[in-house]
Amino acid sequence: MLRLFSIFLLIVLVFSVQACAQSKVYVSSEGRFSIDLNFTPTEDRNSAESKLGGKKLWWRTERASFMVSFADNLDAKKEFAESAVNASADGYIGAIPKSAKVVSRKNIGIDGYPGVEIVSRESDGYTVVTRYFMVDTRLYCTMALWTAGRNDHDVIRTLDSFKVYVQSPMK
């Protein structure tokens, strides 16, 4: 009986360690956000966001590629936040390759702030989910790219783990 209990305990410990290793929260104090990942992302220092004082961070796993970017617009007004995320989504849709198909576009939110999600499919079988959020004066973009049908739940769970931290109220 003790041997059976020991084997059971070993199995539980192995699965517990794997579960803990798969959920590591990355916190960006500068970006005022967090997201669940297993390692530190790489910063793209030549991005359009960096030229505006923001940042673009990306990382790859065995299953997918992810990106989080942000840039501030100090003139942003709360009443125009929804227009800002819709304009960003329109610009993204206009820039995707003609071989890709927009599958869905829907309004979403994060902590009461407006957002837009666009799901597109590339002709080579990749799914791309892009989300824009306007939080105070900061525009965030999160994105994931992966082979459609593989690990969909894990990728969406990572995107859903994105959280923002507000420092100042909007004008």
Q: Is residue 136 part of a domain?
A: yes
Residue predicted with more confidence, 9 or 105: 105
154 belongs to a structural domain: yes
Q: Which of 22, 47, 49 has the alpha carbon at shortest distance from 36?
A: 22
Q: What is the pLDDT of residue 20?
A: 40
Q: Residue 106 domain-assigned?
A: yes
> Is 53 part of any domain?
yes
Question: Would the pLDDT of 10 be above 90?
Answer: no
Q: Count how many domains the chain has.
A: 1
> Tell me, what's the pLDDT at 44?
76
Is residue 136 scored above 80 in pLDDT? yes
Report the CATH number that the domain containing residue 60 is assigned in CATH: 3.40.1000.10
Q: What is the pLDDT averaged over residues 151-165?
A: 91
> Would the pTM of this model clear 0.85, i.e. be above it?
no
Has residue 169 been placed in a domain? no
Answer whether residue 171 is part of any domain.
no
Residue 141, domain member (yes or no): yes
Residue 27's domain comprises 2-164
